[in-house]
């Protein structure tokens, strides 16, 4: 079995480009954007159903589904037993019979018991069925650190999913991005792991389109243009990249990857070829984190443009620590700043 290869072949209409249905905008934070988008998709398509632990009357551990159970009822917003393996397996079965389920795994560290269903069913069913079966499942997962929580509540092991063919991996960095990317994910015919950076769930607000709004699922976003160095980040790290860019004496181009799989290779290479320098900022562990793949891509296809080796600012190669030392583990703007200054000062 196999999910369809995420090389551009797959994806519904929502993956084709940015689309807005008109209307005004409303200031909201990221978790409210999740809630608003889920409500809109439940209204729009009766095939959409939510399922997960505590997302019914309680409204989810972060209240991302607050009020949806009361509005849409227990058949559309389904409280499940505490079984990640069961949640994911049930969602795949629902998708195989024509539904468009949106399961929630409360924390990325809780995903691991469901890895059998992820590998054997979600990621490979399309390929295993010879293309006869689509598996339009969007798995929402709050991820990342920075909230001083307990063990297994702060993981950023996105590389496990990126390493798996047949699944899109999407990570928004702002409320507006969240609405556009989550709506496009739910409408995609591909399985999607949608990573929600919980550190910034309520971190800030910005205007979000009121009407129907989707963003392309496989295009990186230029957050700010620059000519000296490319700083690549995603999720909560984009805000720290912006702070670092403000502190350095360099013209920094910030690229928000948005889609971790497939990677927008053209956007990455085009930017690095113009700037000649690159820093990758991610909170995941350093070894075999996505920064390693990006560095390899740049070395393979843009080596002759580089004026300094690619540098990574990342978490450390340890299990995510307790909250007492969490701040020392998480890459901050200063760590990103030092990495940018290092590539700017480098001389061959």
Residues annotated as catalytic are: 153
N residues, the chain: 348
Whether 314 and 331 have beta carbons less than 8 Å apart is answered as yes
Name the DSSP class of 131. Answer: T
Name the DSSP class of 2. Answer: B
Cα–Cα distances (Å) from 123 to 108, 114, 138, in that order, read 17, 12, 12
Of 274, 268, 273, the C-alpha closest to 291 is: 268
Of 41, 12, 51, 217, the C-alpha closest to 134 is: 12
Three-state DSSP at 324 gives helix
Three-state DSSP at 15 gives helix
Cα–Cα distances (Å) from 83 to 73, 74, 233, in that order, read 22, 18, 32
Name the DSSP class of 254. Answer: E
Burial class from Cβ neighbours inside 10 Å (0-12, 13-18, 19+) for residue 303 reads exposed
CA distance 243 to 140: 28
What pairing do the DSSP bridges indicate for beta strands 168-170 and 259-261? antiparallel
Tokens of 283: 């909170």
For 41, the enclosing helix (H) or strand (E) is helix 30-44
**What Rg do the C-alpha atoms of the chain give, in angstroms?**
20
């Amino acid at each position: 079995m196999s999910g369809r290869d995420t090389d551009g072949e797959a994806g519904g209409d929502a993956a084709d480009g940015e689309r807005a249905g008109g209307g005004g905008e409303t200031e909201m934070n990221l978790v409210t954007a999740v809630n608003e988008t889920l409500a809109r998709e439940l209204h729009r398509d009766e095939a959409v159903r939510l399922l997960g632990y505590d997302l019914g009357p309680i409204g989810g551990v972060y209240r991302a589904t607050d009020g949806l159970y009361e509005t849409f009822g227990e058949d559309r917003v389904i409280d499940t037993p505490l079984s990640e393996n069961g949640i994911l397996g049930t969602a795949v079965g629902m998708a195989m019979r024509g539904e468009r389920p949106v399961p929630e795994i409360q924390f990325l560290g809780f995903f691991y018991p469901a890895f059998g269903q992820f590998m054997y069913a979600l990621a490979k069913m399309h390929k295993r069925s010879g293309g006869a079966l689509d598996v339009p499942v969007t798995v929402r997962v709050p991820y990342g650190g920075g909230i001083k929580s307990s063990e297994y509540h702060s993981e950023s092991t996105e590389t496990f999913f990126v390493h798996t063919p047949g699944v899109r991996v999407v990570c928004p960095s702002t409320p507006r991005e969240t609405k556009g990317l989550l709506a496009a994910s739910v409408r995609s015919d591909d399985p999607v792991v949608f990573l929600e950076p919980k550190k910034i769930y309520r971190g800030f607000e910005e205007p979000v389109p009121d009407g129907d709004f989707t963003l392309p699922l496989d295009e990186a976003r230029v957050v700010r243009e620059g000519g000296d160095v490319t700083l690549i980040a995603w999720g909560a790290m984009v805000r720290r990249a912006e702070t670092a860019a403000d502190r350095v004496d360099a013209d920094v181009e910030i690229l928000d990857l948005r889609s971790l799989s497939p990677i927008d290779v053209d956007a990455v290479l085009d930017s690095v070829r113009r700037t000649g320098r690159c820093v990758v900022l991610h909170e995941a562990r350093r070894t075999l984190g996505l920064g390693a793949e990006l560095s390899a891509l740049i070395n393979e296809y843009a080596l002759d443009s580089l004026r300094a080796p690619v540098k990574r600012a990342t978490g450390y190669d340890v299990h995510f620590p307790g909250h007492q030392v969490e701040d020392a583990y998480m890459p901050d703007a200063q760590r990103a700043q030092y990495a940018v200054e290092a590539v700017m000062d480098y001389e061959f």
